[in-house]
Structure 1
Amino acid sequence: MSLGDERDASGGYGGSGQTRTRLPESSGDVYGGARRGGRSSSRSLVTVVGVVALLIAAIAFANRGGDGSASAGGDENQPKSAATAASGARPVQGKNGGIPAGFAHDQQGAESAAANYAVALGSADMFNKLKRDAILQTIITPSRVSEFETTLDQAYTTAFNKNVGLNDDGSTPAGYTFVSRTSPIGTKITESTANDATVEVWCSGLLGLAGENSTNPVTNSWFTITMKLEWTDGDWKIVTHSQKDGPAPVPGDDRASSADEMAKAVEEYGGFTYAR
């Protein structure tokens, strides 16, 4: 997650200039107040028709015969995303301190390392000094570990902990569940040589306190992390790390879960190891 970032939900829809007002519900649950109104039958019909049209188009595209006259990649002037299908190569050979390690010495290995490192850097363990230092020792290139530790010690302050709803020492208040998770959506290599790679990782993140009277409910954000990696000691390690907001999709009509539902989900659903 971004350190200290605070994002406001937009009330606009697709730049149309239209807004709608929602009245708070009386459930008393800080999560329950984000419920959306019921959809009309006409809107449901439009949605169904739209989905059917997309399915027909997808089937037609998949069954389209190739006559060799068009390039398989489409418009050569458009950027192409990397394949996400399994390559058959094993990108991760083991783990170090619970974090995947032993990535392949190629672009696929660099992307896999960056995705896994994004998960580690966005975890709740980063709010604990001892666990944070262990993470940095694992994923940062040795010559930069001390610099990262100093920088993050200055970021994870008492004020920052209180800002996200934690106790001064970074521990979780009794009766609450602290949530800090980063989920990579995709990766992209922007520069690479034999022993260096710059990887962008597009992510979605969760941050907040799940609890009945939480004033810092769990919220979702979208951001892109850029990592410069180098091949050192037989693995990819981070040299520099930066982050920017977005790209973010238009919020959907999902009903916000209750505090209990959110806490239960976090406790029951573990995180993933990401690999390409």
Structure 2
Amino acid sequence: MSVGNDHGYGSDSGSGRTDDGYSTIGGTRQTRTRFPDGEGGDGYGGSRRPARSSRSLIMVVGVVVLLIAAIAFANLGGGGDDGGASGGSGGSKAGAAPTAATGTKPVTGKNGTIASGFAHDEQGAQSAATNYAVALGSADMFNAAARRGILQATHDPAVVDRLQADMDKAYSASLFTNVGLNEDGSTPSGLTFVSRTVPVGTKVTKQTGDTATVEVWCTGLVGMAGQGSTKPVTETWFTITENLKWVGNDWKIESSNQAEGPTPVSGDNRASTADDIAGAVEQYGGFTYAR
């Protein structure tokens, strides 16, 4: 969600994705979905996925969509630089945890469309970070009213006002046109705008009583689906690091940042048609993530 190679979802220094560590808490299972092969050659279907080198520009655009929040987070200052790396007094560092489900029931609360009421423990912090990553990587972030609601639901109230101002500047007409939207952020007629973050796994790197640093390994989908799309939906891989604080009986993001990868080798699946992708996005809903 940032321009060019400046892609931290919440970079404290404003540096690119490759320099940032950005975490969100990931899902508990890894899934693989294959859409049906398309008919004909419309859109971008019916052919193998092009080599990474031939779609570098598209990947940049994808990063712009998923990681633009970094522009705002970079200006927050404070604990984003060392939240996930340093082990201050009273804190503890945890190793990797298995991604298998724990059996604990998911949260039942909602703050708008976003899960809330997470447990005041390590598992609750992971669930919170995961669900927040999904919300912040969604297409709703391109709508001003929806974006402000998401920021209020996911962040510490102490940082929300400044973050909203920064985000409103970041989601500009030029950004919208770069990702294929109209200048006002609306989707061109006949196309479907896709922006989804899909958590793959989580790791708690530090936790005290009321703070936690959680890394979420994610894959993302971004682009325009439909007949005549010039910006087909592509995938990205990144890790989000969220510094969480226990505020108002729930976990909230205090600061965050992002790093590229780990990125697996692309498979041999045929790319589906633009219409197939658009249909899948409209028909398949998201999840509430919990450990």
Report the TM-score when normalising by structure 1.
0.74
Match of 1:32, SS? coil
CA distance in 1, matches of 2:222, 2:254: 26
CA distance in 2, matches of 1:168, 1:136: 22
Q: CA deviation at 1:91?
A: 4.9
Structure 1 outlier segments of 4+, above 4 Å: none
Give the alignment partner of residue 107 of structure 1, picking from 116, 122, 129.
122
CA distance in 2, matches of 1:261, 1:101: 33
2:186 aligned partner, one-letter code:
S
1:151 aligned partner, one-letter code:
D
Q: CA deviation at 1:4?
A: 3.6
Two-structure CA RMSD over aligned residues (Å): 2.1
Question: Could you tell me which residue of structure 2 aligns to residue 139 of structure 1?
Answer: 154
- Is the contact made by 2:95 and 2:205 (CA closer than 8 Å) also made in structure 1? no
Tell whether 2:44 aligns with 1:31.
yes
CA distance in 1, matches of 2:99, 2:267: 25
Question: Could you tell me which residue of structure 2 aligns to residue 227 of structure 1?
Answer: 242
1:4-56 superposed Cα distances (whole Å, 9 cap, x missing partner)? 4679xxxxxxxxxxxxxxxxxx954231364279xxxxxxxxxxxxxxxxxxx
Q: CA deviation at 1:241?
A: 1.6
CA distance in 2, matches of 1:5, 1:257: 27
- Is the contact made by 1:158 and 1:170 (CA closer than 8 Å) also made in structure 2? yes
Higher relative contact order (CA 8 A, sep 6+): 2
- Is the contact made by 1:90 and 1:104 (CA closer than 8 Å) also made in structure 2? no
CA distance in 1, matches of 2:101, 2:221: 27
Question: Could you tell me which residue of structure 1 aligns to residue 281 of structure 2?
Answer: 266
Identical counterparts, % of pairs: 59
2:118 aligned partner, one-letter code:
F
Match of 1:114, SS? helix
Question: Could you tell me which residue of structure 1 aligns to residue 180 of structure 2?
Answer: 165
Tell whether 2:219 aligns with 1:204.
yes
- Is the contact made by 1:181 and 1:206 (CA closer than 8 Å) also made in structure 2? yes
Gaps in structure 1 of 5+ consecutive residues: 8-25, 38-78
| Bigger Rg, which one | 1
What is the aligned length? 216
Question: Could you tell me which residue of structure 1 aligns to residue 143 of structure 2?
Answer: 128
Match of 1:190, SS? strand
